[in-house]
């Protein structure tokens, strides 16, 4: 396109100077200097972009604050605390909401709510699905040993970074002073007096109040009232069965939604050996072959007195005052026996 030529009378001195500078810049391959109108337009666009970015950031923050508040508000009229479980498997999320009988089952309820409040369950796995039961607790990171042909799990008590983060606040040093055994999660909890059963509470959430050192951190959903919920058959090389002592302390808030979640989990195939025989982990556990992760367990509407006291006195002090541990003698409620 042929450039327009301007006569001297058509342009002012300033305009002729700017035109020369623009042509010189163009010949050097540089960007021409912007006019005042172009510069003003650029500033307007930058301003609009900055405002839009600020609005987007505020919206993201607002959603992050609003969603938990809305969820809490949804449960504020419930008489009991509510536990919201989020499971992840096969790239999909599954949820279950449970009403916790905190007043009727204070030992089991407070132990469970404490563990949930410190993120003890987050990122752990469903480690056993025998007899239509879905069991979860402190186990994570399933690994397979090619030499032994067995599966094993790590336990939260082995995660020293996690343990160190809470032991100074919630547990007496006497219970983890042994350098060979620094674990603070090997304790047992007394059974409550309440007598809820899996026969009258569908999909009941149960605490394990057995004598094993890890029992207080193991829980299960009893998904079939006709199935054996308390017997764990042993794997190869172990002769004795393991019998659980369970306590029902929570029921589904929305039964159908919870049932969909557990039907999916129980529908996953379990680990088997090459010959098709059952394959166990940690002697007694049979987990889904497709890993089911407990992404999070969140507690809503739980007792403010317990929440305040656990920060003031620590979880251990609160449970000792409640008489929840299997013995009230200091130093004896942490067992050294393993599964």
Please give the Cα distance from 19 to 8 (Å, whole number).
Answer: 12
pLDDT at 41: 67
pLDDT at 179: 64
Per DSSP, the three-state class of 314 is coil
- Answer for the pair 109, 249: CB distance below 8 angstroms, yes or no: yes
- Name the least confident of 137-146, 154-163, 220-229, 302-311: 302-311
Report residue 339's pLDDT band, with 50, 70 and 90 as the boundaries: very low
Q: CA dist 288 to 73, 81, 122, 134, 280, Å?
A: 35, 30, 18, 10, 11
Residue burial 9-23, b: 16+ Cβ < 10 Å; e: rest = eeeeeeeeeeeeebe
Per DSSP, the three-state class of 81 is coil
Please give the Cα distance from 232 to 284 (Å, whole number).
Answer: 6
- Answer for the pair 281, 127: CB distance below 8 angstroms, yes or no: yes
Beta strands in the chain (DSSP E): 82-89, 92-100, 124-128, 133-136, 139-145, 150-155, 204-208, 219-222, 231-232, 242-243, 246-252, 293-300
> In whole angstroms, what separates CA 188 from the centre of its chain?
23
More confident residue, 325 or 297: 297
pLDDT at 28: 58
Per-residue pLDDT of 68-127, as tens digits, reads 554 556 776 677 899 999 999 999 999 999 999 998 999 999 999 999 999 999 999 999
More confident residue, 94 or 237: 94
Beta bridge partners of 285: 281
Please give the Cα distance from 67 to 73 (Å, whole number).
Answer: 10
Per-residue pLDDT of 207-230, as tens digits, reads 998 877 678 899 999 999 999 999
User: Which residues 6+ apart lie within 8 Å of 94 measured at CB?
Assistant: 86, 87, 88, 260, 261, 264, 265
> In whole angstroms, what separates CA 155 from the centre of its chain?
15
Whether 32 has a pLDDT exceeding 60, the answer reads no
Phi and psi at residue 48, to the nearest 5°: -65, -45
Please give the Cα distance from 213 to 127 (Å, whole number).
Answer: 17
């Amino acid at each position: 396109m042929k450039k327009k030529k301007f006569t001297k009378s058509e342009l002012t001195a300033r305009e002729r100077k700017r035109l020369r500078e623009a042509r010189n810049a163009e010949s050097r391959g540089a960007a021409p200097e912007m006019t005042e109108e172009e510069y003003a337009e650029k500033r307007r666009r930058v301003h609009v972009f900055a405002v839009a970015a600020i609005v987007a950031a505020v919206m993201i923050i607002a959603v992050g604050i609003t969603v938990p508040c809305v969820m809490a508000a949804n449960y504020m009229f419930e008489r009991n605390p509510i536990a919201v479980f989020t499971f992840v498997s096969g790239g999909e999320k599954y949820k279950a909401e449970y009403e916790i009988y905190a007043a009727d089952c204070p030992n089991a309820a407070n132990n469970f709510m404490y563990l949930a409040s410190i993120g003890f369950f987050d990122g752990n796995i469903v480690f056993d699905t025998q007899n239509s039961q879905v069991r979860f607790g402190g186990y994570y990171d399933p690994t397979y040993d090619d030499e032994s042909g067995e599966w094993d799990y790590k336990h939260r008590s082995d995660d020293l970074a996690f343990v160190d983060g809470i032991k100074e606040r919630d547990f007496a040093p006497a219970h983890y002073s042994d350098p060979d055994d620094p674990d603070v999660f090997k304790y047992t909890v007394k059974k409550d007096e309440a007598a809820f059963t899996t026969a009258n509470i569908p999909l009941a959430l149960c605490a394990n109040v057995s004598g094993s050192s890890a029992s207080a951190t193991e829980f299960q959903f009893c998904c079939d009232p006709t199935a054996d919920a308390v017997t764990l058959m042993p794997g190869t090389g172990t002769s004795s069965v393991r019998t659980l002592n369970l306590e029902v302390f929570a029921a589904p808030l929305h039964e159908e939604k919870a049932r969909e979640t557990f039907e999916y989990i129980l529908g996953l195939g379990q680990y088997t050996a090459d010959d098709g025989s059952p394959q166990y982990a940690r002697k007694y556990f049979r987990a889904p072959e497709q890993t089911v992760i407990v992404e999070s367990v969140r507690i809503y509407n739980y007792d403010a007195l317990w929440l305040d006291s656990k920060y003031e006195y620590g979880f251990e002090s609160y449970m000792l005052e409640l008489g929840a541990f299997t013995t009230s003698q200091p130093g004896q409620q942490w067992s050294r026996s393993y599964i």
